Amino acid sequence: LNNYCKVFSFYAKTPMEKSASETLMKCLNQYFRTLCDDLETFAHHAGRKTVLLADLELLMRRQGLVTDDISLYVLVERYLPLEYRRLLIPCAASGNAVFPAG
């Protein structure tokens, strides 16, 4: 939770009160609940029982985060640290192989 508070105050560019963090906690709870529900629905819609990256991308598109001129990879580049970026964005590795294969 402390981490979330730090992130929140970093983007808001203002310090946070204690009471605000409790409200933030409630909001995050609700957010993750709807997120999981949505992802489940999208995966089920595509006839799968596994949530894939495509489901997440569709969800972010619905939320208006991913648009035609801002792709998911742009968002990953912008907001995630390097080690996560390397896991998500395909790049040509040695031996003429692309990693990850997706």
| Residues at the site binding other proteins, with contacts judged by CB under 8 A | 41-42, 45-47, 54-55, 58, 61-62
DSSP 101: -
Rounded to the nearest whole angstrom, what is the least distance from the CB of residue 45 to other proteins in the complex? 5
Please, which residue, 6 or 45, has the CB nearer to other proteins?
Answer: 45
> Read out DSSP for 5-70?
HHHHHHHHTS---HHHHHHHHHHHHHHHHHHHHHHHHHHHHTT-SS--HHHHHHHHHHTTSS-SSS
Rounded to the nearest whole angstrom, what is the least distance from the CB of residue 68 to other proteins in the complex? 9
Please, which residue, 61 or 85, has the CB nearer to other proteins?
Answer: 61
Element (H, E) at 97: strand 97-99
Rounded to the nearest whole angstrom, what is the least distance from the CB of residue 58 to other proteins in the complex? 5
Please, which residue, 24 or 59, has the CB nearer to other proteins?
Answer: 59
Smallest Cα–Cα separation from 56: which of 42, 45, 75? 42
Please, which residue, 5 or 72, has the CB nearer to other proteins?
Answer: 72
Task: Give residue 85's Cα distance to chain centre.
Answer: 12
Rounded to the nearest whole angstrom, what is the least distance from the CB of residue 38 to other proteins in the complex? 8
